[in-house]
């Protein structure tokens, strides 16, 4: 009897201590409104099971509680914002350089090391400085022949779809972006690689991204035992090993190849820079692999969906497509293959507006989770305690009616006319994020997407029976559509 009482006492004491140690987290409840969800689970069950990760639930919460809200994912508080003023404070703050550990822990464990995507603030500054070299203007220009050649192959492939009715082309476009990404970042064409030919490698990347999304939503799955019981560990190990094999093969080949005498010096691609640091003893081999693994996914996943979504929206809005076509016809009077130069890309001003509007309504990365490394006070007086995640909701920032007006949900490339851009809050449009830790590849992403779209849209008219109103968005590290619209291709002359 005495033992039972003692156990109850210890249990009660531990529970009170647990609540006391988290008093600063609960203090947030007094500062920010938002949905609480269930004890210990937060909104995870509601979000995953009832709403199937639909983005519109976040919109519903924010319409109900305000543009910056507090919610709980598992036992951890999670602040979300769609308010450009708060977004600016987060992106500019030295206390919010780290991505949330709920995102980086599964990423690092899958890649077995850190790349720019996951690395912590204290090591990030130096790594970013090194990697910035690999995205300099002259290096991007040196990618133009690859962008041109791969876009030509994609246009040839799409020719086989003419007259075939509506087709789902996301996978084919992602195969294009993967080949571009691997050639430009790790200097290797994977066309002949078995795991690329049979789609294993793309499915592995896709599976890892899905697992990372689940880890962010269900923080208790970071526990190895729970993760194993959910079947996540087996899936992660399988997918990670396919990717590791491919990247290791590429790194081995680079490490063992001697430069030919008289050959052109190799460009400072991501892999060359990482190997240079490895040879100087500044980067362990595992981190070379992790950097390459993460850079490839950051490049191909984003540009692939961006091009696919732009084609989808243009198929839904034929008048805008016609304006794009006329702009392209002025530049390239005859259809077929043509070389796109950097100067040409600068002249595609309407296409750029369309691309921006696509990234506004369907941002390829819908959500960016950052973590406070110190207590951090926002201008609205809310203090975010050290270790708490603050998620910038890019999707809902881009549709915030206070900044985009009542037609925020409508497709209108004129949102990006110079006068309209000038009058808007600079953090109301953040597809590549902004501030200290923005996307390193944003110029690359815009250039390669515009170039591919120019070649496709000069050669084909795209149509679809899918309605804009029926698009439904699903939360994922990379944007997902609940139903992917089919697109029909018609040849232009």
**Which residues bind to ligand HEM, rule: CB under 6 A?**
99, 116-117, 128, 185, 295, 298-299, 302-303, 306, 364-365, 368, 431-433, 437-441, 444-445, 449
Beta carbons of 485 and 312 less than 8 angstroms apart: yes
Give the Cα separation of 133 and 124 in Å (integer): 14
- Considering the complex, state which of residue 123 and residue 194 has its C-beta at the smaller distance from ligand HEM: 123
Of residues 302 and 396, the one with the C-beta less far from ligand HEM: 302
Nearest to ligand HEM of 340, 477 (CB atom):
477
Round to whole Å and give the CA distance between 120 and 108: 11
Name which of 178 and 466 has its Cβ closer to ligand HEM. 178
Closest contact distance (angstroms) between CB of 39 and ligand HEM is 31
Return the number of the residue (116 or 209) whose C-beta is nearest ligand HEM: 116
Length of the chain: 493
Count of beta carbons in the 10 Å neighbourhood of residue 169: 24
Q: Which residue is it, tokens 């702009």?
A: 327
Any idea of the CA torsion for 120, 123, 127, 128, to the nearest 10 degrees? 60
CB of 90 to ligand HEM, least distance (A): 9
For the four alpha carbons of 328, 331, 332 and 338, in that order, the dihedral sign comes to negative
Rounded Cα distance between 107 and 84, Å, is 28
CA distance 112 to 315: 41
Rounded least distance, CB 37 to ligand HEM, Å: 25
């Amino acid at each position: 009897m005495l033992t039972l009482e003692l156990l109850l006492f210890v249990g009660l004491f531990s529970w009170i201590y647990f609540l006391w140690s988290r008093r600063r987290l609960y203090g947030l409840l007094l500062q920010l409104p938002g949905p609480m969800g269930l004890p210990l689970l937060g909104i995870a069950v509601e979000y995953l099971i009832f709403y199937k990760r639909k983005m519109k639930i976040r919109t519903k919460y924010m319409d109900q509680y305000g543009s910056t809200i507090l919610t709980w994912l598992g036992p951890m508080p999670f602040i979300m914002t769609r308010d450009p003023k708060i977004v600016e404070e987060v992106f500019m703050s030295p206390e919010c350089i780290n991505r949330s550990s709920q995102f980086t822990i599964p990423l690092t464990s899958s890649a077995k090391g850190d790349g720019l995507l996951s690395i912590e603030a204290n090591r990030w500054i130096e790594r970013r400085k090194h990697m910035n070299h690999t995205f300099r203007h002259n290096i991007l220009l040196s990618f133009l022949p690859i962008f041109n050649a791969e876009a030509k192959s994609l246009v040839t492939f799409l020719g086989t779809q003419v007259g075939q009715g509506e087709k789902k082309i996301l996978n084919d476009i992602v195969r294009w972006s993967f080949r571009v990404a691997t050639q430009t970042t790790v200097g290797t064409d994977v066309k002949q690689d078995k795991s690329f030919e049979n789609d294993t490698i793309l499915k592995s990347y896709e599976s890892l991204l899905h697992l990372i999304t689940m880890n962010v939503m269900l923080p208790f799955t970071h526990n190895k035992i729970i993760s194993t019981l959910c079947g996540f560990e087996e899936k992660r190990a399988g997918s990670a090993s396919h990717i590791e094999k491919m990247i290791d093969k590429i790194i081995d080949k680079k490490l063992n190849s001697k430069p030919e005498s008289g050959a052109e010096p190799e460009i400072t691609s991501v892999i060359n820079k990482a190997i240079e640091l490895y040879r100087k003893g500044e980067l362990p081999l595992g981190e070379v692999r992790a950097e390459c693994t993460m850079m490839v996914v950051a490049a191909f996943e984003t540009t692939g969906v961006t091009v696919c979504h732009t084609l989808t929206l243009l198929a839904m809005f034929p008048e805008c497509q016609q304006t794009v076509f006329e702009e392209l016809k002025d530049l390239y009077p005859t259809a077929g293959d043509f070389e796109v130069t950097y100067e040409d890309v600068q002249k595609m001003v309407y296409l750029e507006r369309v691309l921006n509007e696509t990234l506004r309504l369907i941002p390829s990365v819908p959500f960016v989770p950052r973590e406070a490394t110190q207590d951090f006070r926002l201008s609205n007086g809310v203090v975010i305690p050290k270790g708490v995640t603050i998620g910038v909701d890019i999707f809902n920032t881009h549709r915030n009616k206070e900044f985009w007006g009542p037609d925020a949900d409508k497709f209108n490339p004129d949102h990006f006319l110079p006068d309209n851009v000038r009058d808007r809050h600079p953090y109301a449009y953040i597809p590549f994020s902004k501030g200290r830790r923005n996307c390193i590849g944003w110029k690359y992403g815009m250039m390669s997407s515009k170039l591919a779209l120019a070649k496709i849209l000069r050669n084909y008219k795209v149509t679809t029976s899918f309605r804009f109103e029926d698009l439904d968005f699903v939360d994922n590290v990379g944007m997902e559509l609940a139903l992917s619209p089919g697109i029909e291709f018609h040849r232009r002359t």
